[in-house]
A and B are shown apart, each in its own frame.
Chain A
Amino acid sequence: MSEAIELNLPCSRHDLASCVAGDSVLLSGSVYTMRDAGHARCLAYLEEHGELPFDLAGQVLFYAGPTPPAAGRPLGAVGPTTASRMDFATPQLLRAGIVATIGKGTRSAEVVRACQETGSVYFAAVGGIAALLAERVVHSELVAWEDLGTEALRRLEVRDLPVFVEIDTAGHDLYRSIEGSCA
Protein backbone atom coordinates (compact mmCIF):
# COMPACT_ATOMS: atom_id res chain seq x y z
CA MET A 1 0.00 0.00 0.00
CA SER A 2 1.12 3.55 -0.69
CA GLU A 3 2.32 5.70 2.21
CA ALA A 4 -0.29 7.60 4.19
CA ILE A 5 -1.16 11.11 3.01
CA GLU A 6 -0.49 13.79 5.63
CA LEU A 7 -3.18 16.41 5.89
CA ASN A 8 -3.12 19.50 8.09
CA LEU A 9 -6.39 20.85 9.48
CA PRO A 10 -8.28 23.04 9.02
CA CYS A 11 -7.94 22.56 5.30
CA SER A 12 -9.67 23.84 2.19
CA ARG A 13 -11.94 21.78 -0.02
CA HIS A 14 -9.24 22.16 -2.64
CA ASP A 15 -6.86 20.21 -0.36
CA LEU A 16 -9.47 17.47 0.05
CA ALA A 17 -9.92 17.00 -3.68
CA SER A 18 -6.75 14.91 -3.85
CA CYS A 19 -8.08 12.36 -1.31
CA VAL A 20 -9.33 9.20 -3.01
CA ALA A 21 -11.61 6.59 -1.43
CA GLY A 22 -9.38 3.95 0.16
CA ASP A 23 -6.44 6.30 0.85
CA SER A 24 -4.77 6.09 4.23
CA VAL A 25 -4.51 9.59 5.77
CA LEU A 26 -2.86 11.05 8.89
CA LEU A 27 -4.71 14.12 10.16
CA SER A 28 -3.00 16.84 12.20
CA GLY A 29 -4.61 19.99 13.59
CA SER A 30 -8.12 20.83 14.81
CA VAL A 31 -11.17 18.59 14.81
CA TYR A 32 -14.45 19.17 16.67
CA THR A 33 -16.28 16.38 18.49
CA MET A 34 -20.01 16.24 17.85
CA ARG A 35 -22.53 13.42 18.30
CA ASP A 36 -26.28 12.85 18.23
CA ALA A 37 -27.43 15.54 20.69
CA GLY A 38 -24.91 18.07 19.34
CA HIS A 39 -26.12 17.52 15.80
CA ALA A 40 -29.70 18.28 16.84
CA ARG A 41 -28.53 21.55 18.46
CA CYS A 42 -26.24 22.49 15.60
CA LEU A 43 -28.98 21.91 13.05
CA ALA A 44 -31.48 23.94 15.09
CA TYR A 45 -28.98 26.83 15.27
CA LEU A 46 -28.29 26.63 11.54
CA GLU A 47 -31.99 26.69 10.70
CA GLU A 48 -32.59 29.69 12.97
CA HIS A 49 -29.52 31.78 12.11
CA GLY A 50 -28.62 30.64 8.62
CA GLU A 51 -25.03 29.83 9.62
CA LEU A 52 -23.08 27.34 11.74
CA PRO A 53 -22.45 28.15 15.43
CA PHE A 54 -18.96 28.62 16.96
CA ASP A 55 -17.22 29.45 13.66
CA LEU A 56 -17.47 25.84 12.56
CA ALA A 57 -17.43 26.75 8.86
CA GLY A 58 -14.33 25.23 7.27
CA GLN A 59 -13.84 22.77 10.14
CA VAL A 60 -13.88 18.98 10.47
CA LEU A 61 -16.37 17.10 12.69
CA PHE A 62 -15.29 13.99 14.59
CA TYR A 63 -18.25 11.84 15.68
CA ALA A 64 -16.87 10.95 19.08
CA GLY A 65 -17.72 10.96 22.76
CA PRO A 66 -14.42 10.62 24.63
CA THR A 67 -13.71 9.32 28.13
CA PRO A 68 -12.29 11.76 30.73
CA PRO A 69 -8.55 12.64 30.87
CA ALA A 70 -6.31 9.77 32.00
CA ALA A 71 -2.69 8.58 32.00
CA GLY A 72 -1.49 12.17 31.66
CA ARG A 73 -3.29 12.59 28.35
CA PRO A 74 -6.10 15.09 27.53
CA LEU A 75 -8.49 12.16 26.92
CA GLY A 76 -8.25 8.59 28.20
CA ALA A 77 -9.85 7.11 25.10
CA VAL A 78 -11.45 8.56 21.99
CA GLY A 79 -12.81 6.92 18.87
CA PRO A 80 -15.48 7.12 16.22
CA THR A 81 -19.15 6.44 16.80
CA THR A 82 -21.56 5.18 14.11
CA ALA A 83 -21.75 7.90 11.46
CA SER A 84 -25.11 6.94 9.97
CA ARG A 85 -26.87 8.32 13.06
CA MET A 86 -25.73 11.79 11.95
CA ASP A 87 -26.96 11.35 8.37
CA PHE A 88 -30.11 13.33 9.16
CA ALA A 89 -28.05 16.51 9.60
CA THR A 90 -24.90 15.95 7.54
CA PRO A 91 -25.99 17.21 4.08
CA GLN A 92 -27.14 20.52 5.60
CA LEU A 93 -23.98 20.89 7.69
CA LEU A 94 -21.75 20.21 4.66
CA ARG A 95 -23.64 22.84 2.65
CA ALA A 96 -23.19 25.27 5.54
CA GLY A 97 -19.42 24.85 5.57
CA ILE A 98 -18.27 21.69 7.35
CA VAL A 99 -15.60 20.30 4.99
CA ALA A 100 -15.12 16.78 6.33
CA THR A 101 -16.51 14.33 8.86
CA ILE A 102 -14.87 11.45 10.73
CA GLY A 103 -16.83 8.44 11.96
CA LYS A 104 -17.32 4.73 11.45
CA GLY A 105 -19.58 2.70 9.23
CA THR A 106 -21.73 3.40 6.21
CA ARG A 107 -23.45 6.64 5.15
CA SER A 108 -26.71 7.27 3.30
CA ALA A 109 -26.91 7.99 -0.41
CA GLU A 110 -27.83 11.59 0.52
CA VAL A 111 -24.53 12.02 2.37
CA VAL A 112 -22.56 10.56 -0.56
CA ARG A 113 -24.33 13.01 -2.90
CA ALA A 114 -23.70 15.93 -0.53
CA CYS A 115 -19.97 15.06 -0.35
CA GLN A 116 -19.79 15.14 -4.14
CA GLU A 117 -21.89 18.27 -4.48
CA THR A 118 -19.94 20.27 -1.85
CA GLY A 119 -16.48 18.73 -2.33
CA SER A 120 -16.42 17.23 1.16
CA VAL A 121 -14.88 14.02 2.49
CA TYR A 122 -16.05 11.38 4.96
CA PHE A 123 -13.14 9.72 6.75
CA ALA A 124 -13.52 6.35 8.46
CA ALA A 125 -11.60 5.98 11.70
CA VAL A 126 -11.16 2.50 13.15
CA GLY A 127 -13.58 1.55 15.93
CA GLY A 128 -12.12 -0.32 18.89
CA ILE A 129 -8.67 1.35 19.02
CA ALA A 130 -9.59 4.29 21.25
CA ALA A 131 -6.56 4.04 23.56
CA LEU A 132 -4.26 4.28 20.54
CA LEU A 133 -6.21 7.19 19.02
CA ALA A 134 -6.13 9.05 22.35
CA GLU A 135 -2.33 8.99 22.18
CA ARG A 136 -2.66 11.14 19.04
CA VAL A 137 -4.66 13.86 20.83
CA VAL A 138 -2.36 16.57 22.16
CA HIS A 139 -4.98 19.00 23.44
CA SER A 140 -8.69 19.04 24.24
CA GLU A 141 -10.85 22.01 25.16
CA LEU A 142 -14.53 22.42 25.81
CA VAL A 143 -16.21 24.74 23.29
CA ALA A 144 -19.88 24.46 24.27
CA TRP A 145 -22.75 22.29 25.48
CA GLU A 146 -21.09 21.15 28.68
CA ASP A 147 -24.48 19.91 29.88
CA LEU A 148 -24.23 17.14 27.28
CA GLY A 149 -21.35 15.50 29.16
CA THR A 150 -19.42 13.24 26.79
CA GLU A 151 -21.52 14.63 23.93
CA ALA A 152 -20.30 18.22 24.49
CA LEU A 153 -18.69 20.15 21.65
CA ARG A 154 -14.91 19.92 22.07
CA ARG A 155 -12.03 21.14 19.98
CA LEU A 156 -9.26 18.56 19.79
CA GLU A 157 -5.76 19.17 18.56
CA VAL A 158 -4.63 15.91 16.97
CA ARG A 159 -1.28 14.79 15.60
CA ASP A 160 -1.18 12.00 13.00
CA LEU A 161 -4.69 10.72 13.66
CA PRO A 162 -4.97 7.67 11.37
CA VAL A 163 -8.08 7.57 9.15
CA PHE A 164 -9.12 6.22 5.76
CA VAL A 165 -10.98 8.04 2.99
CA GLU A 166 -14.39 6.34 2.91
CA ILE A 167 -16.25 8.83 0.67
CA ASP A 168 -14.27 11.17 -1.56
CA THR A 169 -15.18 14.42 -3.29
CA ALA A 170 -16.02 12.54 -6.48
CA GLY A 171 -18.66 10.56 -4.58
CA HIS A 172 -16.76 7.27 -4.52
CA ASP A 173 -17.77 5.19 -1.51
CA LEU A 174 -15.17 2.67 -0.32
CA TYR A 175 -17.71 0.58 1.58
CA ARG A 176 -20.00 0.20 -1.43
CA SER A 177 -17.07 -0.89 -3.58
CA ILE A 178 -16.09 -3.53 -0.97
CA GLU A 179 -19.70 -4.67 -0.76
CA GLY A 180 -19.94 -4.82 -4.56
CA SER A 181 -16.75 -6.81 -4.99
CA CYS A 182 -17.84 -9.61 -2.66
CA ALA A 183 -21.58 -9.84 -3.44
Chain B
Amino acid sequence: MRLDQAVSPERVARAVYTGIREAACTLRADVLEAIRASWLDAKKHESASRASEVLHAMVENALIGDRDQVPICQDTGTVWVCLELGEERRVSGDVFSRVDFAVARAYEDGKLRMSVVRDALFDRTNTNTNAPAFCEVRMVPGKGARVHVMLKGGGSDNASRVVMLSPDAGPAGVKRAVVECVREKAANACPPLIVGVGVGATFDKVAGLAKHALLRPVGSRAASDEAAAFEQSVLEEVNATGIGPAALGGAPTALAVHVETAPCHIAALPVAINMGCCAMRSATIDLVTEEGYALEFPAAQTWEGDDMNMHRVADQDAQAAEEAARRKERA
Protein backbone atom coordinates (compact mmCIF):
# COMPACT_ATOMS: atom_id res chain seq x y z
CA MET B 1 0.00 0.00 0.00
CA ARG B 2 1.17 3.47 -0.69
CA LEU B 3 -0.06 6.99 -0.14
CA ASP B 4 -0.96 8.20 -3.57
CA GLN B 5 -2.98 11.25 -4.57
CA ALA B 6 -3.73 9.84 -7.98
CA VAL B 7 -6.43 7.25 -8.53
CA SER B 8 -5.62 5.17 -11.55
CA PRO B 9 -8.28 4.38 -14.16
CA GLU B 10 -7.35 0.72 -13.76
CA ARG B 11 -8.22 0.76 -10.06
CA VAL B 12 -11.57 2.42 -10.77
CA ALA B 13 -12.31 -0.12 -13.52
CA ARG B 14 -11.51 -3.08 -11.30
CA ALA B 15 -13.72 -1.68 -8.54
CA VAL B 16 -16.56 -1.21 -11.04
CA TYR B 17 -16.12 -4.80 -12.21
CA THR B 18 -16.29 -6.05 -8.63
CA GLY B 19 -19.32 -3.88 -7.89
CA ILE B 20 -21.28 -5.08 -10.92
CA ARG B 21 -20.63 -8.75 -10.24
CA GLU B 22 -21.68 -8.37 -6.62
CA ALA B 23 -24.74 -6.18 -7.12
CA ALA B 24 -26.21 -8.32 -9.91
CA CYS B 25 -26.43 -11.47 -7.78
CA THR B 26 -26.53 -10.34 -4.16
CA LEU B 27 -29.39 -8.18 -2.95
CA ARG B 28 -28.34 -5.18 -0.87
CA ALA B 29 -28.39 -6.24 2.79
CA ASP B 30 -30.52 -3.25 3.84
CA VAL B 31 -33.11 -4.00 1.13
CA LEU B 32 -33.23 -7.70 2.00
CA GLU B 33 -33.68 -6.84 5.68
CA ALA B 34 -36.56 -4.46 4.89
CA ILE B 35 -38.29 -7.03 2.66
CA ARG B 36 -37.84 -9.73 5.28
CA ALA B 37 -39.35 -7.47 7.96
CA SER B 38 -42.30 -6.68 5.67
CA TRP B 39 -42.82 -10.37 5.02
CA LEU B 40 -42.88 -11.19 8.75
CA ASP B 41 -45.37 -8.39 9.20
CA ALA B 42 -47.61 -9.58 6.34
CA LYS B 43 -47.54 -13.15 7.67
CA LYS B 44 -49.36 -11.97 10.78
CA HIS B 45 -52.36 -10.79 8.77
CA GLU B 46 -54.71 -13.34 7.28
CA SER B 47 -55.94 -10.78 4.73
CA ALA B 48 -52.42 -10.14 3.44
CA SER B 49 -51.73 -13.64 2.19
CA ARG B 50 -50.96 -12.57 -1.39
CA ALA B 51 -48.53 -9.90 -0.18
CA SER B 52 -46.98 -12.42 2.20
CA GLU B 53 -46.52 -14.97 -0.60
CA VAL B 54 -44.88 -12.39 -2.86
CA LEU B 55 -42.56 -11.02 -0.15
CA HIS B 56 -41.55 -14.54 0.81
CA ALA B 57 -40.66 -15.24 -2.83
CA MET B 58 -38.50 -12.09 -2.82
CA VAL B 59 -36.57 -13.29 0.24
CA GLU B 60 -36.16 -16.75 -1.34
CA ASN B 61 -35.01 -15.14 -4.58
CA ALA B 62 -32.28 -13.21 -2.79
CA LEU B 63 -31.02 -16.43 -1.19
CA ILE B 64 -30.95 -18.26 -4.55
CA GLY B 65 -29.16 -15.40 -6.30
CA ASP B 66 -26.48 -15.20 -3.63
CA ARG B 67 -26.09 -18.97 -3.28
CA ASP B 68 -25.90 -19.79 -7.00
CA GLN B 69 -24.38 -16.49 -8.12
CA VAL B 70 -27.18 -15.94 -10.62
CA PRO B 71 -28.79 -12.55 -11.25
CA ILE B 72 -31.59 -11.65 -8.84
CA CYS B 73 -33.36 -9.91 -11.73
CA GLN B 74 -33.16 -10.77 -15.44
CA ASP B 75 -32.98 -7.07 -16.23
CA THR B 76 -29.39 -6.55 -15.19
CA GLY B 77 -29.80 -2.95 -16.25
CA THR B 78 -27.72 -0.13 -17.55
CA VAL B 79 -24.64 0.64 -15.49
CA TRP B 80 -24.51 3.98 -13.71
CA VAL B 81 -21.18 4.92 -12.17
CA CYS B 82 -20.38 7.85 -9.91
CA LEU B 83 -16.73 8.39 -9.12
CA GLU B 84 -16.38 10.46 -5.93
CA LEU B 85 -13.05 12.11 -5.38
CA GLY B 86 -11.91 13.91 -2.25
CA GLU B 87 -10.44 17.30 -2.91
CA GLU B 88 -6.89 15.97 -2.53
CA ARG B 89 -7.47 13.30 -5.15
CA ARG B 90 -7.08 13.32 -8.86
CA VAL B 91 -7.71 10.82 -11.57
CA SER B 92 -5.55 10.57 -14.63
CA GLY B 93 -6.21 9.15 -18.02
CA ASP B 94 -9.32 8.13 -19.82
CA VAL B 95 -11.02 6.58 -16.82
CA PHE B 96 -14.41 6.06 -18.39
CA SER B 97 -13.25 4.06 -21.40
CA ARG B 98 -11.54 1.78 -18.89
CA VAL B 99 -14.85 1.60 -16.99
CA ASP B 100 -16.62 0.60 -20.22
CA PHE B 101 -14.08 -2.18 -20.61
CA ALA B 102 -14.87 -3.35 -17.07
CA VAL B 103 -18.60 -3.28 -17.85
CA ALA B 104 -18.10 -5.45 -20.95
CA ARG B 105 -16.00 -7.96 -18.97
CA ALA B 106 -18.38 -8.07 -16.00
CA TYR B 107 -21.44 -8.66 -18.19
CA GLU B 108 -19.73 -11.38 -20.19
CA ASP B 109 -18.17 -13.12 -17.17
CA GLY B 110 -21.25 -12.75 -14.98
CA LYS B 111 -23.58 -14.06 -17.72
CA LEU B 112 -25.61 -10.90 -17.33
CA ARG B 113 -28.08 -9.53 -19.85
CA MET B 114 -26.92 -7.13 -22.54
CA SER B 115 -29.55 -4.40 -22.47
CA VAL B 116 -27.97 -1.36 -24.15
CA VAL B 117 -28.68 -0.17 -27.70
CA ARG B 118 -26.28 1.99 -29.73
CA ASP B 119 -28.53 4.98 -30.10
CA ALA B 120 -31.89 5.71 -28.50
CA LEU B 121 -33.40 7.08 -31.69
CA PHE B 122 -31.39 6.20 -34.77
CA ASP B 123 -29.82 2.81 -34.13
CA ARG B 124 -31.52 0.48 -31.70
CA THR B 125 -29.14 -2.42 -32.23
CA ASN B 126 -27.61 -3.98 -29.15
CA THR B 127 -24.02 -3.00 -28.31
CA ASN B 128 -23.61 -6.60 -27.06
CA THR B 129 -21.27 -5.43 -24.28
CA ASN B 130 -23.76 -3.52 -22.11
CA ALA B 131 -21.36 -0.58 -22.50
CA PRO B 132 -21.34 2.32 -22.39
CA ALA B 133 -21.83 2.98 -18.69
CA PHE B 134 -23.46 6.28 -17.72
CA CYS B 135 -20.82 8.01 -15.63
CA GLU B 136 -20.20 11.10 -13.56
CA VAL B 137 -17.37 12.45 -11.41
CA ARG B 138 -18.11 14.28 -8.18
CA MET B 139 -15.69 16.30 -6.11
CA VAL B 140 -16.35 15.87 -2.38
CA PRO B 141 -14.69 17.12 0.83
CA GLY B 142 -11.97 15.00 2.44
CA LYS B 143 -9.28 12.57 1.40
CA GLY B 144 -11.47 9.75 0.25
CA ALA B 145 -12.10 8.25 -3.14
CA ARG B 146 -14.91 5.85 -3.87
CA VAL B 147 -17.08 4.61 -6.63
CA HIS B 148 -20.84 4.03 -6.62
CA VAL B 149 -22.18 1.49 -9.08
CA MET B 150 -25.87 1.05 -9.82
CA LEU B 151 -27.47 -1.42 -12.20
CA LYS B 152 -30.74 0.25 -13.15
CA GLY B 153 -33.56 -1.78 -14.60
CA GLY B 154 -35.71 -0.41 -17.42
CA GLY B 155 -39.05 -0.92 -15.67
CA SER B 156 -38.25 1.23 -12.67
CA ASP B 157 -36.42 3.91 -14.64
CA ASN B 158 -39.38 4.14 -17.05
CA ALA B 159 -41.61 4.75 -14.03
CA SER B 160 -39.59 7.84 -13.06
CA ARG B 161 -40.16 11.50 -13.90
CA VAL B 162 -39.08 15.13 -13.50
CA VAL B 163 -41.61 17.87 -12.82
CA MET B 164 -40.98 21.59 -12.44
CA LEU B 165 -43.38 22.82 -9.75
CA SER B 166 -44.18 26.37 -8.76
CA PRO B 167 -42.47 27.31 -5.46
CA ASP B 168 -45.84 27.92 -3.78
CA ALA B 169 -46.62 24.20 -4.22
CA GLY B 170 -44.31 23.62 -1.25
CA PRO B 171 -43.96 20.32 0.62
CA ALA B 172 -47.61 19.40 -0.06
CA GLY B 173 -47.03 19.82 -3.79
CA VAL B 174 -43.89 17.69 -3.72
CA LYS B 175 -45.73 15.00 -1.80
CA ARG B 176 -48.62 15.10 -4.29
CA ALA B 177 -46.20 14.75 -7.22
CA VAL B 178 -44.59 11.68 -5.63
CA VAL B 179 -47.88 9.99 -4.78
CA GLU B 180 -49.28 10.70 -8.26
CA CYS B 181 -46.21 9.13 -9.83
CA VAL B 182 -46.58 6.08 -7.59
CA ARG B 183 -50.28 5.72 -8.44
CA GLU B 184 -49.64 5.93 -12.15
CA LYS B 185 -46.40 4.00 -12.44
CA ALA B 186 -45.62 1.85 -9.40
CA ALA B 187 -47.29 -1.25 -10.82
CA ASN B 188 -44.66 -1.34 -13.58
CA ALA B 189 -41.69 -0.63 -11.31
CA CYS B 190 -41.62 -3.91 -9.31
CA PRO B 191 -42.78 -2.82 -5.83
CA PRO B 192 -42.08 -2.71 -2.92
CA LEU B 193 -40.15 0.33 -4.05
CA ILE B 194 -37.42 2.57 -2.78
CA VAL B 195 -38.62 5.96 -3.96
CA GLY B 196 -35.74 8.35 -4.65
CA VAL B 197 -36.87 11.97 -4.62
CA GLY B 198 -34.74 14.93 -5.65
CA VAL B 199 -35.93 18.45 -4.83
CA GLY B 200 -34.09 21.55 -5.98
CA ALA B 201 -31.05 22.39 -8.12
CA THR B 202 -31.83 22.73 -11.84
CA PHE B 203 -33.81 20.78 -14.43
CA ASP B 204 -30.85 18.55 -15.29
CA LYS B 205 -29.37 18.14 -11.79
CA VAL B 206 -32.55 17.29 -9.91
CA ALA B 207 -32.72 13.82 -11.52
CA GLY B 208 -29.22 13.17 -10.23
CA LEU B 209 -30.34 14.03 -6.69
CA ALA B 210 -33.14 11.48 -6.96
CA LYS B 211 -30.73 8.86 -8.21
CA HIS B 212 -28.23 9.50 -5.42
CA ALA B 213 -31.11 9.20 -2.92
CA LEU B 214 -31.43 5.54 -3.93
CA LEU B 215 -27.91 4.83 -2.68
CA ARG B 216 -28.80 5.66 0.92
CA PRO B 217 -29.39 2.51 2.98
CA VAL B 218 -33.01 1.72 3.77
CA GLY B 219 -33.59 2.39 7.45
CA SER B 220 -30.95 5.11 7.71
CA ARG B 221 -31.90 8.55 8.99
CA ALA B 222 -32.35 11.52 6.70
CA ALA B 223 -29.98 14.49 6.92
CA SER B 224 -32.27 16.43 9.27
CA ASP B 225 -35.29 15.86 11.51
CA GLU B 226 -37.35 17.97 9.15
CA ALA B 227 -36.34 15.77 6.20
CA ALA B 228 -36.98 12.59 8.20
CA ALA B 229 -40.50 13.73 9.11
CA PHE B 230 -41.21 14.63 5.49
CA GLU B 231 -39.93 11.28 4.23
CA GLN B 232 -42.10 9.47 6.77
CA SER B 233 -45.22 11.39 5.79
CA VAL B 234 -44.68 10.72 2.08
CA LEU B 235 -44.00 7.04 2.77
CA GLU B 236 -47.25 6.72 4.71
CA GLU B 237 -49.23 8.22 1.86
CA VAL B 238 -47.47 6.03 -0.72
CA ASN B 239 -48.30 2.94 1.32
CA ALA B 240 -51.90 4.09 1.74
CA THR B 241 -52.37 3.49 -2.00
CA GLY B 242 -52.54 -0.23 -1.22
CA ILE B 243 -50.79 -1.11 -4.49
CA GLY B 244 -48.60 -3.51 -2.56
CA PRO B 245 -45.84 -6.00 -3.38
CA ALA B 246 -45.81 -6.85 -7.11
CA ALA B 247 -48.82 -4.49 -7.38
CA LEU B 248 -51.05 -7.35 -6.21
CA GLY B 249 -52.48 -5.40 -3.28
CA GLY B 250 -51.63 -5.03 0.39
CA ALA B 251 -48.52 -3.56 1.97
CA PRO B 252 -45.95 -2.28 1.56
CA THR B 253 -45.95 -0.40 -1.73
CA ALA B 254 -42.64 1.20 -0.75
CA LEU B 255 -39.93 0.21 1.71
CA ALA B 256 -38.62 3.75 1.92
CA VAL B 257 -38.86 7.25 0.53
CA HIS B 258 -35.51 9.04 0.39
CA VAL B 259 -35.44 12.76 -0.26
CA GLU B 260 -32.37 14.77 -1.28
CA THR B 261 -32.77 18.52 -1.35
CA ALA B 262 -30.61 21.34 -2.74
CA PRO B 263 -30.64 25.10 -3.30
CA CYS B 264 -32.49 26.35 -6.36
CA HIS B 265 -33.64 29.41 -8.31
CA ILE B 266 -36.11 31.77 -6.57
CA ALA B 267 -38.67 30.91 -9.26
CA ALA B 268 -38.20 27.15 -9.19
CA LEU B 269 -39.19 23.99 -7.35
CA PRO B 270 -37.74 21.16 -9.44
CA VAL B 271 -38.81 17.65 -8.36
CA ALA B 272 -37.50 14.34 -9.65
CA ILE B 273 -38.78 10.89 -8.75
CA ASN B 274 -36.50 7.95 -9.51
CA MET B 275 -38.09 4.62 -8.70
CA GLY B 276 -35.91 1.90 -7.20
CA CYS B 277 -37.34 -1.62 -7.47
CA CYS B 278 -37.50 -4.47 -4.94
CA ALA B 279 -34.29 -5.82 -6.50
CA MET B 280 -32.54 -2.46 -6.11
CA ARG B 281 -28.94 -3.08 -7.13
CA SER B 282 -26.07 -0.86 -6.15
CA ALA B 283 -22.69 -1.11 -4.53
CA THR B 284 -20.38 1.50 -3.02
CA ILE B 285 -16.70 0.68 -3.09
CA ASP B 286 -13.91 2.61 -1.38
CA LEU B 287 -10.80 3.11 -3.49
CA VAL B 288 -8.63 4.26 -0.58
CA THR B 289 -8.50 3.51 3.13
CA GLU B 290 -9.56 6.05 5.74
CA GLU B 291 -5.89 6.94 6.12
CA GLY B 292 -5.71 7.61 2.44
CA TYR B 293 -3.86 4.50 1.32
CA ALA B 294 -4.73 2.93 -2.00
CA LEU B 295 -6.87 -0.19 -1.92
CA GLU B 296 -6.04 -2.68 -4.60
CA PHE B 297 -8.54 -4.86 -6.41
CA PRO B 298 -7.62 -8.13 -8.04
CA ALA B 299 -8.02 -8.26 -11.78
CA ALA B 300 -10.64 -10.73 -12.92
CA GLN B 301 -9.31 -13.95 -14.39
CA THR B 302 -10.52 -12.84 -17.76
CA TRP B 303 -8.80 -9.48 -17.39
CA GLU B 304 -5.65 -10.78 -19.02
CA GLY B 305 -5.61 -10.62 -22.77
CA ASP B 306 -7.80 -7.58 -22.51
CA ASP B 307 -6.32 -6.14 -25.68
CA MET B 308 -7.92 -9.00 -27.52
CA ASN B 309 -11.26 -8.23 -25.92
CA MET B 310 -11.00 -4.58 -26.65
CA HIS B 311 -10.32 -5.46 -30.26
CA ARG B 312 -13.40 -7.62 -30.27
CA VAL B 313 -15.48 -4.72 -29.04
CA ALA B 314 -13.80 -2.42 -31.53
CA ASP B 315 -14.46 -4.94 -34.31
CA GLN B 316 -18.11 -5.06 -33.42
CA ASP B 317 -18.23 -1.29 -33.49
CA ALA B 318 -16.55 -1.23 -36.89
CA GLN B 319 -18.93 -3.87 -38.21
CA ALA B 320 -21.91 -1.93 -36.95
CA ALA B 321 -20.62 1.25 -38.54
CA GLU B 322 -20.18 -0.55 -41.87
CA GLU B 323 -23.64 -2.03 -41.61
CA ALA B 324 -25.12 1.40 -40.87
CA ALA B 325 -23.27 2.86 -43.85
CA ARG B 326 -24.59 0.08 -46.08
CA ARG B 327 -28.11 0.68 -44.85
CA LYS B 328 -27.76 4.37 -45.57
CA GLU B 329 -26.51 3.61 -49.09
CA ARG B 330 -29.44 1.34 -49.78
CA ALA B 331 -31.93 3.87 -48.49
Chains A and B are bound partners: yes
Q: Residues of A with Cβ closer than 8 Å to B?
A: 1, 22, 24, 64-71, 73, 75-79, 81-82, 84, 104-106, 124, 126-132, 134-135, 149-150, 162, 164, 174-175, 178-179, 181-182
User: Does B316 make an interface contact (CB < 8 A)?
Assistant: no
B249 adjacent to A67 (CB under 8 Å): no
Taking CB as reference atom, which chain A residue is nearest B125? A147
Partner of B190, one of A69, A73, A127, A179: A127
Nearest-neighbour CB distance to chain A for B59, whole angstroms, equals 9
Nearest-neighbour CB distance to chain B for A117, whole angstroms, equals 23
* CB neighbors of A among B28-66 (8 A): 49-50, 53-54, 57-58, 60-61, 64-65
Taking CB as reference atom, which chain B residue is nearest A181? B242
Besides the known contacts A129-B57, A131-B70, 15 further A-B residue pairs in the complex with CB atoms under 8 A apart: A65-B75, A65-B113, A67-B113, A75-B74, A104-B155, A126-B57, A126-B248, A128-B73, A128-B246, A129-B61, A131-B61, A150-B115, A164-B248, A174-B248, A182-B242
Nearest-neighbour CB distance to chain B for A4, whole angstroms, equals 9
Nearest-neighbour CB distance to chain A for B68, whole angstroms, equals 4
In the assembled complex, 20 residue pairs joining A and B whose CB atoms fall closer than 8 Å, in A order, are: A24-B50, A65-B113, A67-B111, A76-B71, A77-B71, A104-B155, A104-B187, A105-B247, A124-B248, A126-B246, A126-B248, A128-B279, A130-B73, A131-B25, A131-B68, A150-B113, A164-B246, A178-B242, A178-B243, A178-B244
Residues of B in contact (CB 8 Å), total: 47
User: Does B278 make an interface contact (CB < 8 A)?
Assistant: yes
Q: Across the interface, which residues of B come within 8 angstroms of A79, CB to CB?
A: 73-75
Partner of B241, one of A69, A71, A124, A182: A182
User: 4 closest pairs, A vs B, by CB?
Assistant: A182-B242, A127-B190, A105-B188, A1-B49
In angstroms, Cα B158 to Cα A115, docked, is 26
- Chain A proximity mask over B70-104: 1 for CB below 8 Å, otherwise 0: 11111110000000000000000000000000000
User: Does B5 make an interface contact (CB < 8 A)?
Assistant: no
Q: Across the interface, which residues of A come within 8 angstroms of B154, CB to CB?
A: 81-82
Taking CB as reference atom, which chain A residue is nearest B54? A126
Q: A105-B188, A131-B61, A150-B114 are in contact. Are A71 and B248 (CB under 8 A)?
A: no
User: Does B264 make an interface contact (CB < 8 A)?
Assistant: no
Q: Across the interface, which residues of B come within 8 angstroms of A179, CB to CB?
A: 183, 243
User: Does B232 make an interface contact (CB < 8 A)?
Assistant: no
In angstroms, Cα B50 to Cα A24, docked, is 8
Taking CB as reference atom, which chain B residue is nearest A107? B187
Q: Across the interface, which residues of A come within 8 angstroms of B71, CB to CB?
A: 67, 70, 76-77, 130-131
Q: A79-B74, A129-B61, A164-B50 are in contact. Are A68 and B111 (CB under 8 A)?
A: yes
Q: Across the interface, which residues of A come within 8 angstroms of B74, CB to CB?
A: 64-67, 75-79, 130, 134
Q: Across the interface, which residues of B come within 8 angstroms of A66, CB to CB?
A: 74, 113
B64 adjacent to A105 (CB under 8 Å): no
Q: Across the interface, which residues of A come within 8 angstroms of B158, CB to CB?
A: 82
User: Does B69 make an interface contact (CB < 8 A)?
Assistant: yes
User: Does B214 make an interface contact (CB < 8 A)?
Assistant: no
B278 adjacent to A132 (CB under 8 Å): no
Partner of A175, one of B111, B187, B279: B187
A127 adjacent to B278 (CB under 8 Å): yes
Partner of B64, one of A126, A128, A132, A174: A132
In angstroms, Cα B141 to Cα A15, docked, is 64
Partner of B277, one of A78, A127, A150: A127
User: Does B112 make an interface contact (CB < 8 A)?
Assistant: yes
Partner of A131, one of B65, B244, B247, B277: B65
Taking CB as reference atom, which chain B residue is nearest A82? B188
Q: A1-B50, A65-B74 are in contact. Are A132 and B128 (CB under 8 A)?
A: no
Partner of A67, one of B68, B112, B188: B112
Q: Across the interface, which residues of B come within 8 angstroms of A178, CB to CB?
A: 242-244, 247-249
B155 adjacent to A82 (CB under 8 Å): yes
In angstroms, Cα B68 to Cα A162, docked, is 20
In angstroms, Cα B155 to Cα A124, docked, is 15
A104 adjacent to B188 (CB under 8 Å): yes
In angstroms, Cα B277 to Cα A81, docked, is 13
Q: Across the interface, which residues of A come within 8 angstroms of B53, CB to CB?
A: 1, 24
Q: Across the interface, which residues of A come within 8 angstroms of B137, CB to CB?
A: none
- Chain A proximity mask over B228-247: 1 for CB below 8 Å, otherwise 0: 00000000000011111111
B188 adjacent to A106 (CB under 8 Å): yes
Nearest-neighbour CB distance to chain B for A178, whole angstroms, equals 4
B246 adjacent to A81 (CB under 8 Å): no
Q: A67-B112, A175-B187 are in contact. Are A132 and B73 (CB under 8 A)?
A: no
B57 adjacent to A132 (CB under 8 Å): yes
